[in-house]
Structure 1
Amino acid sequence: MSDAVRADALLADMPKAGRGQLKVFLGAAPGVGKTFAMLQAAQAQLRQGVDLRAGVVETHGRAETEALLAGLPQQPLRQLEYRGVQMTEMDLDGILAKPPKLVLVDELAHTNAPGSRHAKRWQDVEELLDARIDVYTTVNVQHLEALNDQVRDITGVQVRETLPDWVLQEADEILLIDLPPRELLERLRDGKVYVPEQARAAIDAFFSQTNLTALRELAMQTAAARVDADLNRRYRQLGQEAPAVRGRLLVGVDGDAQAERLVRHASRVAERRHLPWSLVHVDTGGPRDDQARARLQAAQQLAERLGGEVVTLRAEEVARTLIEHAGERRASVLLVGRSRQRLRRRWLGRGLAERLLRFGEGLEISVLDTDPDRTPAARGVRQPLVLQDYLLAALAALGATALAWGVSRVLELPNISLVFLAAVLLVAVRSSLGPALVCAVLSFLAYDFLFIPPIFSLIIQRQEDVLTLLFFLLMAGLTGNLAARQHRQLEALRQSQAETTALLELSRKLTAATDRQAVLAAAAQQFALWGDVEVCLLARSADGLWKVEAGVQRLLAEQERAAADWSWQHDQPAGLGTGTLPGGRWWWWPLSGEEGSLALLGVSPRDERPLPAERRRLLAALAQPLAQALARAQLAEDLEAARLHGETEQLRSALLASVSHDLRTPLTAMRGSIDSLLALGEAIPLADRRELLEGTRDEAERLDRYIQNLLDMTRLGHGELKLARDWVAPVDIVASALQRLRPVLAPLQVQTRVPDELPLLYVHAALIEQALINVLENAARFSPPQATLRVTVEADAAELRFAVSDQGPGIPEAERTKIFDMFYTAARGDRGGQGTGLGLAICQGMVGAHGGRVTVGDGLDGKGTTLTLHLPLHPQPQLEEE
């Protein structure tokens, strides 16, 4: 035995992380003492100091049961009103609001009152377990879904309240509460189970010696199967060989009346033999009435509840398709029902079972015979008559007769039959096999009556004409059958292609979507093509409210919101057609990623009927790429936010670090001028005083620019200052920057080269202007007097560029890759001498926040430096015409 198998067995025996423990008290029938045993166990836990609470306990008036319940803490029951009748149910929300360690929940298979969150009590228990609350519960063996048919055969009573077998299989502990049938009958007669009137009726209808014995055997078999499974797991934990799970069981199901019976039998066989199992339906494309579709859907839903896999295949030949699928899934057992609908196939040896036995070499074929008493119900299913198709058959036969009569003078008799064959083919392609056979019979009669001597008589004189007519009828039937089969296959292929096309189209749209809104818009556009349903996509805001991000905008009722909340929290479908809050009009499916729910898909059928299983599976298939696209969009948004945060954080750090460099220079100059004015006063000539005051003003303006730049960048780094983008003309940015720096640029010869027609920029105008000002001021400080400073603006299809060229000392080629580092200094260059300290790192951060960059090149006439701000262009806005 491999270490992996042993490890899996050990992990399976460990308590499930994040989930409570479930202990089930299993009995064969009411009255064996399940509730009494559960309360005894609870009393023992209470004496050990365990925090427990009785969620719901049904004592049925039994004094000894009520005595055990009296000392236990109880959760008050929830009062509900349904059609004027007061009902009580377990208060699930009350328990979850103040969760204990252990909860007692009686009658696991109980059906909740309408208006409850879940349709079944076992679903309430699942939610308690998910909340890490341990549960003690009780159940009778007749309530197991897989045993429903056996219980009906034993007792003659159809049990309506059932629970999926997997609930019992996932229990951490099962305790069988056994009581011999004779003692149980004595308890019934003594009134310890029901009141005397009910007890007599129960003994006559259900609690007979034979029934109780058979139910007791079922309970023991169920418990024994659990013990056997536990024993196998223990062997695997020890590293020893255990009975291996071999192959898979496939059950082939059609839409007949015995489909659910076949599914339950398959579940029991699979559990006894420890086999995984699948329900397989082969869709041949043939017509199917609403009743058959409903039965098939019910069987598929039952298989899902019992833990089986549901597979739908599309093909014409059922037997070969089942065998091929069994080979693909490495199945060892194939279970089918005995077909009684088409006796002609059995007579000819071509029934489904016979074909499976003929072709299924190496495969175990099991055929379940149905009850003869229910066979007529299965045979009674009829395909709906479509009058238009049969009218088409009559008109086609009439048209072929007229055409054949018209060409009978120029064509020989054998060739005339081809006209009728063409009519049969036409009907078969346009409708189905039934109308095609009707057309063949009518054509046969017309051919005999009008063209076979003696004419205008059904009498045939020549023997060879009899053979001709028989061959004609045979060929008409075969060709009609072949054409009808091709028609059904074509319809099945169209349906399959429609589903595949829907997946491909949605995937294509989602691939092109770059953000969350684009993903949701693409999904809503795809779902809008379905005219029989309404679709919406919900998201939850920060304050916990639902908002419709795409699809139908409609207010949700309280029950709809409750179903949406539950689906979002538990990452499971809820609403219409499910077992959780099914009373609304919407079916909710969570779109989840690794970090939890991303959105909620809501589907509301216009006919207000639950979605069929095929449509739900298609929606689930479409939801998978949609959830992946939402996760991808969320990741892209997070990466963009992280990149922007990194850029702005670097910018903020540079600004804060440059305070000691950038603020000291203007402050020192201002302080020197003010000290000179205070010390010398009137002794300073008027022209000199004016010069000192103007210098102080210039330094104050310079200091104001630094401080404003510092505050804006600090707020941007903290996320308080957003990029308030707007459309702005590049010429306005250049003009404003030159105006603000007019005193600084006065000693220079400033040239501007700005084309008349330039695209608009979608930027934060103040930040880009500040970046341009910093570059211009830097160039002015390192340019000799009367030197040329040129500002150039140019654009192409992708970006727009602001270039500032000077005739200063320039930057050596080897150092141009380092000048964007913070506080980089050199003996020459823009960072040398009396540099501002803000430097190119700040400018690059301003431009980088917009997705741009800053580059450095040679200046004018081989001297100085050219700094270029590159900014990306966006699609230009549509200007409204006056």
Structure 2
Amino acid sequence: MSDAQRADALLDDAPREGRGRLKVFLGAAPGVGKTYAMLQAAQRQRQLGRDVRVGVVETHGRAETEAMRVGLAEQPMRRSEYRGVTLFEMDLDGLLQLRPSLALVDELAHSNASGSRHAKRWQDVLELLEAGIDVYTTVNVQHLESLNDQVRGITGVQVRETVPDWVLHQADDILLIDLPPRELLERLREGKVYVPEQARAAIDAFFTQTNLTALRELAMQTAAARVDADLHRRHRLQGQTAPAVRGRLLVGIDGDAYAEGLVRHAARVAERRHLPWSVVHVDTGASRGEVQLGYLQSAQQLAERLGGEVVELRDERVARTLIEHAVERRATLVLVGGGRVRRVWKFSVRRSVAEQLIKGGRGLEISVLGQEPALTAPVGSTATLDWRQYLLAALATLTATGLALMLSRYLALPNISLVFLAAVLVVAVRSSLGPALACAGLSFLLYDFLFIPPMFTLIVARQEDVLTLLFFLLMAVLAGNLASRQRRQLQALRQTQAETTALLDLSRQLSAATDVQAVGAAAVRQLQLVAKLDAVIATRGKQGKWVFIGSEPLLAEPERGAAEWAFKHGQPAGKGTDTLPSAQWWWLPLSGDGQPLGLLGIRQLGPDQAGLQKRRLIAALAQPLAQALGRATLAGELEAARLHGQTEELRSALLASVSHDLRTPLTAMRGSIDSLAILGHSMSEADRQELLEATRDEAERLDRYIQNLLDMTRLGHGGLKLIRDWTSPADIVASALQRLHRVLAELRLEVLVPDDLPLLYVHPALVEQALVNVLENAARFSPPQGRLQIAVSTGAGRLRFIVSDEGPGVPEAERERIFDMFYTATRGDRGGPGTGLGLAICQGMIGAHGGRVFVGDGLGGRGASVTLELPLQPQPEMEKDLT
């Protein structure tokens, strides 16, 4: 055994974190002492200091069992009314709230009262285990699901309350409580199990010596199988060779009375041989009645409860399809039933599926189980005959007869048969094989009665007419069978195509969705279109509240409880399940990487065959939906992380930039003020005036920085309002130059403003501030006595302010980035000082007017030029009159 296999075994054996331990007291029949043994073990645990609480214990009035309860704390039972009858059930929520160390839950197979959270008590036990509470429970062997048919065969009694075998597989300990049949019968006669009247009826109906001996053997076999499984696991833990899990068991079922027994037998074989198993149904397209559909559904649901995989395949060749699927899944054992051999209308008898498997299944172990069918049909399944299809056959035959009578004057006798063949084909295409065969038989009789001499009798006088009739009947049957088969194949292909198209469409829409809202909307829309059902996606909001995508349901108490339970436990709940089935919605959990992502809610889902097919289609669609939801959730988290990172980066840049740009003028101002305060009386008037002017320049510089910060804040929060007015471009240029006359004093300034410029309909102060930012930026990077040019031009309905310098310029690759906030603080704006807000604010202000800002080459191929481009509006009439 490899280290990896041993590690896997250790992980399997290790108890799951936070999960309680389950101990099952298993008995062959009531009265063997399971409850007494459970209470006795609980008393020992109480003496060891554990918090033990009785959830539910059924003593049936036995004095020794009642005495064993003394000293054990009890959880009061939950009371409910059902059809005028008061029922008492275990208070599951009370136990979950108290969270004892150990809970006692008797009768694991018990069915809960209507309105309970779970339909079965074993589901309550599973929830207690998930909450970290240890559980002691009892169960009789006849309640195991896989043994249900064997118990019925032994006792003649159909046990209705069952427990899936996989529940016992999760038990940490199974303790067999055994009592010889003679002693149990003696206890029954003494009234220690039931009251005397009930005891006599039980002995006569169920508790016979033979039945008890057989049930005892089943209990011992179950316990022995568990011991064998434990031994197998211990071998793996020690790194020793043990029977390895090889291959897979496939069990092929059909819609007949043998299906459930075949599934139970397969579950037992898979358990004994440590094989994973699948239930495979090959749909040949043949029409099925309600009884057959009921048998098939019951068997598939039973397989899911017993832990098997359910697979549906479509093909007419059942045996070949099973073999191909077995090879694909690397199965080693194929199990089929041998209940009946099908015969078809051909020259020979077709081999049964079992015979075909034995002949073609080379390398496979083929097992054929011969058994008796179930005593009763599934609940709600009744045999029905679609009389409308046979009425169609009769009408088609009569129509063909009338047409043949009209054409008999013009056509020869052999050609008349083609009219009846056409009727058979029409019925086969529109209906199924049964009505087609009925049409063929009725056409055969009418053709003989009306057209074969002697007329109006079924007697055939001529030998050649006998051959004509026989060939007609043969061709009608073959044609009807072929047409019916093609129709079934077409229906199967349409159904397969519809499911494939639904998956493809959903995958395509989900792949295009970028966030959780878009994913949910696409899924709801596709589910409503494909399944014709109400659908909703429910996710958890930041405050723990449900956020719905789709038609928001009214979450009454059953709905809210079902949704909460499905989200918490990762299992379906609501309508059609065993958890809160009174709810109107079916809640299907959506999870990714073991984490709950949300819920898929479905309403108006019935228990019929169409509902079962829709459930499987929805379950198939839920998988890509969960993946897309996980992807969208992860993308949202990554985007939030990216925005957070950018925010932190901008914050750091702002702090670094502002701390430098605000500190520089403040330091200069403080130095000037300190000089005036200390040396002012000894300074000349010219020196004092120079310090005052320097202080004023630094104050104006500081004011521009603060104004940039305020403008950027207004742009970012949408607080920038445009108060437009007609203004002259020359006035804007003059005002900007006046504000920056000290900054531009050491440069050779060139101003090119034509006299005949049109007016701008803009917010003058904002456009002026944008021009000031560009001019200040150009002055900062221009060399001493360098040229700085400002030009104004028009063209194509636009007016442009162009500011050019002779500085180091801007690389072409960075000309778009210099308009980003704080770009100067890193590398842009040619590496100079400043917050980097000037050009970003400039772009925002000009963009608010519908204009744009772009960078080009500077004067003589040196430096850079920044262009502010604004749209021109139709000039006012007053201005035209004045000119």
Are 2:517 and 1:517 aligned? yes
Report if aligned partners of 1:453, 1:461 keep a CA contact under 8 Å in 2.
Answer: yes
- Indicate the residue corresponding to 2:314 in structure 1: 314
Equivalences for 1:42-61 in 2 at 5 Å? 42-61=42-61
Aligned-pair CA distance for 1:285: 1.8
1:687-737, CA deviations, whole angstroms, 9 ceiling, x for partnerless residues? Answer: 999978975763453243255479x59xxxxxxx986699999999x9999
Q: Distance in 2 between matches of 1:814 and 1:177?
A: 88
Residues 430/864 of structure 1: CA separation in 2 closer, same or farther (3 Å cut): same
Which residue, 693, 705, 710 being the options, matches 2:707?
705
Amino acid at match of 1:698: E
Does the Cα contact within 8 Å between 2:804 and 2:866 map onto a contact in 1? no
Distance in 2 separating the partners of 1:11 and 1:342: 49
AA at the equivalent of 1:121: R
Question: Is the contact between residue 417 and residue 472 of structure 2 (CA under 8 Å) also seen in structure 1?
Answer: yes
Contact 1:577 1:610 in 2 (8 A): no
Q: Which runs of 5+ in 1 are unaligned?
A: 714-720, 757-765, 796-801, 871-882
One-letter amino acid of the structure 1 residue matched with residue 633 of structure 2 = Q
2:271 alignment counterpart: 271
Residue 771 and residue 688 in structure 1: after superposition, are their counterparts in 2 closer, same or farther (change >3 A)? closer
Q: Letter of the aligned partner of 1:806 in structure 2? A: S
In structure 2, the residue corresponding to 1:590 is in which secondary structure?
strand
Answer with 734-743 or 76-85: which moved more: 734-743
Contact 1:108 1:137 in 2 (8 A): yes
Q: What is residue 861 of structure 2 aligned with on the other side?
A: 862
* Structure 1 residue 619 displacement after superposition: 0.9
User: Which has more radius of gyration?
Assistant: 2
Distance in 1 between the 2:63 and 2:793 partners? 99
Match of 2:805, SS state, is: coil
Gaps of at least 5 residues in structure 2 are 759-764, 870-883
- The whole-number CA distance in structure 2 between the counterparts of 1:121 and 1:467 is 69
Give 1:465-504 correspondences, 5 Å limit.
465-504=465-504
Shift of 1:281: 1.3
* Contact in 1 for aligned 2:857/2:865 (Cα 8 Å): yes
Distance 1:749 1:169 in 2: 92
d(CA) in 2 for partners of 1:141, 1:258: 22
Aligned-residue offset at 1:623: 0.8
Paired with 1:480 and 1:752, the residues of 2 have a C-alpha distance of: 95
Deviation at 1:182, TM superposition (A): 1.8
Q: Is the 8 A contact 1:532 1:605 kept in 2?
A: no
Map of 1:297 onto structure 2? 297
CA distance in 2, matches of 1:608, 1:768: 71
Q: What is the deviation of 1:565?
A: 0.4
Q: Is the 8 A contact 1:810 1:859 kept in 2?
A: no
2:778 matches 1:779? yes
TM-superposition CA deviations, 1:80-112 (whole Å, max 9, x none) = 333343333222222222323322222211212
Distance 1:140 1:37, change over 3 A: same
1:737 and 1:298 map into 2 onto residues whose CA distance is 86
The two structures have a TM-score, normalised by structure 2, of 0.83
Q: Please state how far the C-alpha of 1:501 moved relative to its aligned partner.
A: 0.6
Contact 2:824/2:834, CA 8 A, preserved across alignment: no
Cα distance, 1:313 vs structure 2:
1.1
Q: Distance in 2 between matches of 1:130 and 1:278?
A: 27
1:741 deviation in Å? 6.4
d(CA) in 1 for partners of 2:102 and 2:483?
66
Matches of 2:203 and 2:328, distance apart in 1: 51
Q: Which moved more, 1:178-187 or 1:391-400?
A: 391-400
User: Is the 8 Å Cα contact of residues 270 and 276 (structure 1) preserved in structure 2?
Assistant: yes
**Pair 725,199 (structure 1): closer, same or farther in 2 beyond 3 Å:** farther
Q: Deviations over 1:820-851 (max 9, x none)?
A: 8765699xx8544xx3354799889999xx9x
TM-superposition CA deviations, 1:659-713 (whole Å, max 9, x none)? 3321123334555776799868998999999978975763453243255479x59
Equivalent residue letter for 2:58: E
- Corresponding residue number in structure 1 for 2:205: 205
What are the equivalent positions in structure 2 for 1:723-738 lying under 5 Å apart?
none
The Cα of 1:649 is off from its aligned counterpart by 1.2
Which is further off, 359-368 or 597-606? 359-368
Say whether the 8 Å CA contact 2:806–2:859 is kept in structure 1: no
| Alignment-derived partner of residue 804 in structure 2 | 806
Cα pair 2:853 2:868 within 8 Å, conserved = yes
The aligned residue for residue 667 of structure 1 is 666
| 1: CA distance, partners of 2:344 / 2:78 | 59
Paired with 2:225 and 2:723, the residues of 1 have a C-alpha distance of: 80
Alpha-carbon distance in structure 2 between the residues aligned to 1:377 and 1:408: 52
SS of 2:529's equivalent in the other structure is coil
1:616 matches 2:608: no
After TM superposition, the structure 1 = structure 2 runs for residues 541-620 of structure 1, keeping only pairs within 5 Å, are: 541-550=541-550, 552-594=551-593, 596-605=595-604, 612-620=611-619
- CA offsets 1:346-370 (integer angstroms, 9 cap, x no match): 9936444444444445544444344
- Following the alignment from structure 2 to structure 1, what is the Cα–Cα distance between the partners of residues 113 and 707? 72
Task: Note if 1:836 corresponds to 2:834.
Answer: yes
SS of equivalent residue, structure 2 residue 41: helix
Cα deviation code 1:782-820 (max 9, x no counterpart): 45798324799999xxxxxx9975314224869979998
**Aligned partner letter, 1:300:** Q
Q: How does 1:116-131 map to 2 (within 5 A)?
A: 116-131=116-131
- Check 1:436–1:723 CA distance in 2 against 1; reply closer, same or farther (3 A cut): farther
User: C-alpha separation between the residues in 2 aligned to 1:507 and 1:791?
Assistant: 56
Q: Which amino acid aligns with 1:660?
A: S
Q: In the alignment, what sits opposite 2:880?
A: none
Which residue in the other structure is 1:653 paired with? 652
CA gap 1:751/1:20 in 2 versus in 1, 3 angstroms:
farther
Change (3 A) 1:340 1:750: farther
CA positional deviation for 1:486 = 0.7
- The answer to whether the 8 Å contact 1:768/1:846 transfers is no
**Count of residue correspondences:** 836
Q: How far has the Cα of 1:316 moved from its partner?
A: 1.7
Partner AA of 2:369 in structure 1 = L
Q: Is the 8 A contact 1:816 1:856 kept in 2?
A: no
The 1:129–1:204 alpha-carbon spacing in structure 2 relative to 1, beyond 3 Å, is same
Paired letter, 2:202: A
Residue 877 of structure 1 corresponds to none
**In structure 2, what residue type is equivalent to 1:654?**
A
> How many Å apart are 1:590 and its aligned residue?
1.2
1:540, CA displacement in angstroms? 2.1
Distance 1:792 1:671, change over 3 A: farther
- Alpha-carbon distance, 1:28 to partner: 1.1
Please tell me the residue identity of whatever aligns with 2:301. Q
Aligned-residue identity in percent: 62
Amino acid at match of 2:789: T
Per the alignment, residue 169 of structure 2 pairs with 169
CA contact (8 A) 2:20 2:134 kept: yes
Quote the offset at 1:20 in angstroms. 2.0
Verify the 8 A CA contact 1:188 1:199 in the aligned structure 2: yes
Could you give the per-residue CA deviations for residues 125-179 of structure 1, whole angstroms, max 9, x where no partner exists? 1112222222222111111111111212222222221110011112111111111
Whether contact under 8 Å (2:191, 2:199) holds in the other structure is yes
Name the CA distance, whole Å, in 2 between partners of 1:767 and 1:193. Answer: 97
Q: 1:584 to 1:685 in 2, by over 3 A?
A: same
- 1:32 is matched with 32
State the distance in 2 between where 1:30 and 1:522 align: 55
Q: Does 1:257 align with 2:241?
A: no
Q: Counterparts of 1:791 and 1:160 in 2: how far apart (Å)?
A: 94
The question of whether the paired residues in 2 share the 8 Å contact of 1:807 and 1:859 is answered with yes
Q: Given that residues 673 and 696 in structure 1 are in contact (C-alpha distance below 8 angstroms), is that contact kept between their aligned partners in structure 2?
A: no
SS of residue paired to 2:73: coil
TM-superposed deviation, 1:605: 1.5
Task: Give 1:7-22 correspondences, 5 Å limit.
Answer: 7-22=7-22
TM-score (norm 1): 0.83
CA pair 775-600 structure 1, distance change in 2 beyond 3 A:
farther
Which residue is 1:228 aligned to? Answer: 228
For 1:217, the aligned partner's letter is E
Task: Letter of the 1:565 partner, please give it.
Answer: E
Write out per-residue CA displacement over residues 578-623 of structure 1, whole angstroms, 9 at most, x where no aligned residue: 1111111111111112262222111112658797433222111101
- Amino acid of the structure 2 residue aligned with 1:637: G
Structure 2 SS opposite 1:472 = helix
Q: How big is the shift at 1:653? A: 0.3
In angstroms, what is the RMSD of aligned CA positions?
A: 4.6
CA distance in 2, matches of 1:407, 1:689: 125
| CA spacing shift, 1:521–1:770, aligned 2, 3 Å | farther
